[in-house]
Chain A
Amino acid sequence: MGVNFINMATTGTVHQTKWWSGGKSPFNMEYGKLMMWYFLMSDAFTFGAFLISYGSIRFSQNFWPDPNVVFNAFPGAGHANLPLAFVSVMTFILIISSVTMVLAVHAGHKGDKQGVIKWMLWTIVGGLAFLGCQAWEWHHLITGEHAVLADGKLEMIGQTMTGNPWGNLVEDNAALTAALSNTSHETLVSLVQSHDHTHSAKELAAMSDAQLKGMVNLAEMHVREKGPVAFGGYFYGITGFHGFHVFSGVIINIIMLMMAQKDVFAKRGHYLMIEKAGLYWHFVDLVWVFVFLCFYLI
Chain B
Amino acid sequence: MSNHYDPTKDISPSAAYPEVSFHHHTDDAEFKRRVKKTTILLSVVTIVELAIGLLIYNLHKGEVNRDFLILLFKGVVCILTLLKAYWIVSIFMHLGDEIKNMIMTIIVPLLLFVWFIFAFIYEGNSYKNLRNTYDLHFKETTTPVKYHKADKAEEKPAEKSGKE
Complex alpha-carbon distance, A181 and B128, angstroms: 35
Contact B22 A282 (CB under 8 A): no
CB contact between B97 and one of A4, A62, A98 (< 8 Å): that residue = A4
CB contact between B39 and one of A29, A99, A279 (< 8 Å): that residue = A99
Contact B116 A289 (CB under 8 A): no
Contact A297 B77 (CB under 8 A): yes
- Enumerate chain B residues within 8 angstroms of A5, measured Cβ to Cβ: 96-97
A17 at interface (Cβ–Cβ under 8 A)? yes
Contact A63 B97 (CB under 8 A): no
Residue ID in chain A nearest B139 by CB atoms: A62
Interface residues of B in 21-74 (CB under 8 A from A): 21-22, 24-26, 31, 35, 39, 42-43, 46, 49-50, 52-54, 56-57, 60, 74
Interface residues of A in 17-33 (CB under 8 A from B): 17-19, 21, 23-31
- Enumerate chain B residues within 8 angstroms of A27, measured Cβ to Cβ: 98-99, 101-102, 105
Contact B57 A68 (CB under 8 A): yes
A60 at interface (Cβ–Cβ under 8 A)? yes
Contact A297 B53 (CB under 8 A): yes
> A37-B106, A84-B53 are contacts. A29–B88 as well, Cβ < 8 Å?
no
Binary flags per residue of A103-117, CB closer than 8 Å to B gives 1, else 0: 100100000000000
Q: Chain B interface: which of A51-59, A192-200, A241-249?
A: A51-59
> A17-B11, A56-B120 are contacts. A29–B102 as well, Cβ < 8 Å?
yes
Q: How many inter-chain contacts with C-beta < 8 Å in the A-B complex?
A: 204
- Enumerate chain A residues within 8 angstroms of B96, measured Cβ to Cβ: 3-6
B15 at interface (Cβ–Cβ under 8 A)? yes
- Enumerate chain A residues within 8 angstroms of B18, measured Cβ to Cβ: 24
A141 at interface (Cβ–Cβ under 8 A)? no
> A19-B101, A103-B35, A289-B85 are contacts. A57–B124 as well, Cβ < 8 Å?
yes
B117 at interface (Cβ–Cβ under 8 A)? yes
- Enumerate chain A residues within 8 angstroms of B19, measured Cβ to Cβ: 23-25, 30-31
- Chain B interface mostly: helix
Contact A14 B22 (CB under 8 A): yes
Contact B46 A279 (CB under 8 A): no
- The count of residues in chain B whose C-beta lies closer than 8 Å to any C-beta of chain A is 74
- The count of residues in chain A whose C-beta lies closer than 8 Å to any C-beta of chain B is 77
- Enumerate chain A residues within 8 angstroms of B25, measured Cβ to Cβ: 7
Complex alpha-carbon distance, A44 and B113, angstroms: 10
Contact B88 A17 (CB under 8 A): no
A217 at interface (Cβ–Cβ under 8 A)? no
Q: Chain B interface: which of A88-96, A126-134, A232-240?
A: A88-96
Complex alpha-carbon distance, A92 and B145, angstroms: 37
Binary flags per residue of B70-97, CB closer than 8 Å to A gives 1, else 0: 0000100110010011001110110111
A61 at interface (Cβ–Cβ under 8 A)? yes
- Enumerate chain A residues within 8 angstroms of B20, measured Cβ to Cβ: 24-25, 28-30
Complex alpha-carbon distance, A297 and B7, angstroms: 51
Q: How far is the CB of B65 from chain A (nearest CB, A)?
A: 15
A79 at interface (Cβ–Cβ under 8 A)? no
CB contact between A56 and one of B54, B92, B124 (< 8 Å): that residue = B124
- Enumerate chain A residues within 8 angstroms of B77, measured Cβ to Cβ: 293, 297-298
B162 at interface (Cβ–Cβ under 8 A)? no
Binary flags per residue of A181-211, CB closer than 8 Å to B gives 1, else 0: 0000000000000000000000000000000
Contact A286 B21 (CB under 8 A): no
Interface residues of B in 94-127 (CB under 8 A from A): 95-103, 105-107, 109-110, 113, 116-117, 120-121, 123-125, 127
Q: How far is the CB of A259 from chain B (nearest CB, A)?
A: 16
Interface residues of A in 40-89 (CB under 8 A from B): 41, 44, 48-49, 52-53, 55-63, 66-68, 83-84, 88
CB contact between A53 and one of B6, B50, B107, B120 (< 8 Å): that residue = B120
Instruction: Give 18 A-B pairs besides A52-B117, A61-B128, A62-B143 with Cβ atoms closer than 8 angstroms.
Output: A3-B95, A6-B24, A7-B25, A7-B97, A14-B99, A17-B10, A21-B7, A23-B5, A23-B19, A27-B101, A53-B120, A68-B54, A95-B46, A169-B145, A270-B16, A289-B88, A292-B49, A297-B81
Question: 17 interchain pairs (CB within 8 A)?
Answer: A5-B97, A6-B96, A6-B97, A23-B7, A27-B99, A27-B101, A49-B116, A52-B116, A55-B120, A60-B128, A61-B142, A62-B132, A62-B139, A68-B60, A103-B35, A269-B15, A297-B53
